[in-house]
Amino acid sequence: MTANSTMPILDTPYDVPPDKIAAYRRDGWVRLDGVMPLPDLAPFRDAISRHTIGFASGLAPLEQRDTYGKAFIQYTNLWAAHDEVRPFSLAPRFAKIAAELMDVPAVRIYHDQALFKEAGGGLTPWHQDQQYWPLDGARCITMWMPLVDCPQAMGTMRFASGSQQLGYLGPLDISDGSEERLKRLIAEHGHAVAEAGDMRAGDATFHDGWCIHGAQGNASSKVRAVVTVIYMEADAVVTQPDHPSREKDLKTWLPGLRAGDVAASPLNPVVWPG
């Protein structure tokens, strides 16, 4: 089905070609172009940028931050705070892609976030997202979408293809240490490092919660404005946090829940089927 005048784009399914589904299941990530047409993206780009720039006004200057802080301005859970962003982050169009790639019948949102890499911003060290999430056995996926055209030199994503098969490698937060250790591990296991490359606003990559990934620094003079939405299978069960970052995530994104509960706090509505 394609968008038409009677169905808003965010309710319109995006047809994921079978070879892209196969690539995702093999590599742990895939790039899909034109997920959000630019005219439809523009109002969300403007709202997300406005709120993220407002949030960033409270941050220390770039040169005074640590490696994590230099990688991006991170503004989280926009959908819950800003009515204009909610339809974007809860869109059936994106959530259906997530469900198809993960091969599950239904998905919940875990959270969304703006990740703006400033001009001159540093690299995003290699890491595994799911090491932050108390959702060990669950299938999880992140959609990463530039809101502006992003040549590779602005720091689009790179992935260690197939590394999702390694599963949980233990606690290793984003840091110089994760960059060093995972770089070595990627080489030892012989995973090919694949670049997402130059991307247009509204293109997107999707990656598995266990796929090792990162991004180069932003060598341009413009801000790399990106939004991500993280989804989990609807039946995901909370696991006992085994390190402080997971304890923090449990309190922040799964409020009121404990190990053994279905990950269904008021912050985690089912977004597909819509």
Ligand X SMILES: O=C(O)CCC(=O)C(=O)O
Binding region for ligand X (CB under 6 A): 71-72, 115, 117, 124, 129, 142, 144, 155, 213, 215, 226, 228
Q: Which of 16, 26, 33 is nearest to 161 (CA)?
A: 26
**Which lies closer to ligand X via its Cβ, residue 161 or residue 228?**
228
Report in angstroms how near the CB of residue 136 gets to ligand X at its nearest.
17
Please compute, for residue 244, the number of CA atoms within 13 A of its CA located in the half-sphere on the CB side. Answer: 1
Report in angstroms how near the CB of residue 29 gets to ligand X at its nearest.
10
Inter-CA distances, 60 with 57, 63, 78, 118, 255, Å: 8, 8, 21, 13, 29
**Which lies closer to ligand X via its Cβ, residue 12 or residue 74?**
74
**Which lies closer to ligand X via its Cβ, residue 12 or residue 220?**
220
- What residue is closest to ligand X based on CB? 124
Report in angstroms how near the CB of residue 263 gets to ligand X at its nearest.
18
**Which lies closer to ligand X via its Cβ, residue 3 or residue 62?**
62
For residue 8, list its beta bridge partners.
none
Report in angstroms how near the CB of residue 125 gets to ligand X at its nearest.
9
Q: Are strands 270-272 and 124-127 parallel, antiparallel or unpaired?
A: unpaired
d(CA 244, CA 113): 20
Tokens 């932003």 sit on residue: 218
For residue 159, list its beta bridge partners.
194, 213
Report in angstroms how near the CB of residue 156 gets to ligand X at its nearest.
8
**Which lies closer to ligand X via its Cβ, residue 174 or residue 257?**
174
Report in angstroms how near the CB of residue 8 gets to ligand X at its nearest.
26
Report in angstroms how near the CB of residue 235 gets to ligand X at its nearest.
22
User: String of b and e for 157-177 (b: at least 16 CB within 10 Å)?
Assistant: bbbbbbbbebeebeebebeee
**Which lies closer to ligand X via its Cβ, residue 18 or residue 170?**
170
d(CA 15, CA 94): 11
Q: What does the DSSP assignment read for 208-241?
A: ETTS-EEE----SSS-B-EEEEEEEETT-B----
Could you tell me the two tokens for 36? 């959000």
d(CA 207, CA 204): 10
